[in-house]
Amino acid sequence: MKNKTPFNPFRYGIWVLLLFSFLTGFAFSGTFPGPSLSGVVVREALRIMVWSLKSRGAGIIDTGTASAQSHKQWKAPWGFSHMKYIVQGVPVELLVKKRGTPERVILLLHGGAYLMGLVDIYRDLGVRYSTISGGASVALVDYRIAPEHTFPAALEDAEAVWNWLLEQGYREENIIVVGDSAGGNLSLALALKLRDEKRKMPKAIVCMSPWTDMTASGDSYRDNLYKDPIFGLFPWEKPTGNGQWIGNLYIGGHPLDDPYLSPAFGDYRGFPPMLIQVGALEIIESDSLIVYERAKAAGVDVTLTRYEGMFHVFQLFGDFVPEVREAWEEVTDFLRWQFRR
């Protein structure tokens, strides 16, 4: 007789919550003020998942496995070609849309707290970016990560791929840099470095929930400490340290306020147009607010959109959540407008 798998109420509870949010996502979109019902359900499902992981001594990003590459043989969808290169030791993947706009390219720098390599969710994201931008190619960078490689390894890799794109014939005015979380950090750091080297800047920058302040100095590190469903604490937990947590593995003993490590301390004079999106419940919400204020003060054409009730990189979740749809509509409009300018 086969042993039955023990019933796990948390696992089934999450699936029930997600199903409920899917069924209600479109029906109640825009009906009530504040976050959508489906957005709240997904957020609380994430909170339950994080609680379950913590109770087993695990974390959102397991440093023991985060550096492992995706084992699935990812295949580009119909209408796309998928090519792989090694650029100065850095793996790079180029997605090209057939009948697209080959002179344009999006440089995608993935998230993962500088602890996770390139995985399939970002390849899928690359397809989305290409589609919504009107057919731009997308370069995905599998930059070096901690703990094996510390700052400035990822920044060096990003600049190496930027140089490679120029060698392939792409022009700076046809390159848009996008990134989420640590990838948002890297997008801003790359632009700061190019500007400081008196080089031409990218056409524009898109940052989703950028992690920009390794010193954890912003108000949200305290105000959202017990609200953030992913990186926050539960009511019975007490804070330890000053919130630098996972960043320490990439920092490698470097000064925390170096703008190339913490772009919140950067000077944004001469920057291209920027779109920044952030969830209002994120611990690192203030990272986006600080960058926005500094860029605005420097005369940059910058837009910041805060999504009420939303969590870290909520844009990676399903379009059945109204806030996700709204965020991608905003990104679509921004990309197409910038490429037309």
Amino acid type, 265 = F
Cα-based torsion angle of the residue sequence 321, 322, 325, 326 in order, rounded to the nearest 10 degrees: -150
Catalytically annotated residue among 209, 220, 312, 323? 312
Rounded to an integer, what distance in angstroms lies between the CA atom of residue 210 and that of residue 217? Answer: 15
Q: What does the block give as tokens for 303?
A: 């837009």
172 catalytically annotated: no
3-state secondary structure of 13: helix
Q: Which residue has the tokens 């019933």?
A: 7
Among 108, 85, 272, which residue's Cα sits nearest to residue 186? 108
Rounded to an integer, what distance in angstroms lies between the CA atom of residue 263 and that of residue 210? Answer: 9
Q: Which residue has the tokens 């490679």?
A: 164
130 catalytically annotated: no
CB 151 within 8 A of CB 100: no
Catalytically annotated residue among 21, 181, 209, 286? 181
φ and ψ of 121, to 5 deg? -60, -30
Catalytically annotated residue among 282, 285, 288, 323? 282
Cα-based torsion angle of the residue sequence 315, 256, 251, 279 in order, rounded to the nearest 10 degrees: -10
Q: Per the omega criterion (within 30 degrees of 0), is the bond before 147 cis? A: yes
CB 207 within 8 A of CB 279: no
3-state secondary structure of 89: coil
Count CB atoms within 10 A of the CB of residue 24: 17
326 catalytically annotated: no
Give, to the nearest 10 degrees, the angle between helix 322-340 and helix 37-55: 100
3-state secondary structure of 156: helix
φ and ψ of 11, to 5 deg? -60, -50
User: Any idea which residues carry the catalytic annotation?
Assistant: 181, 282, 312
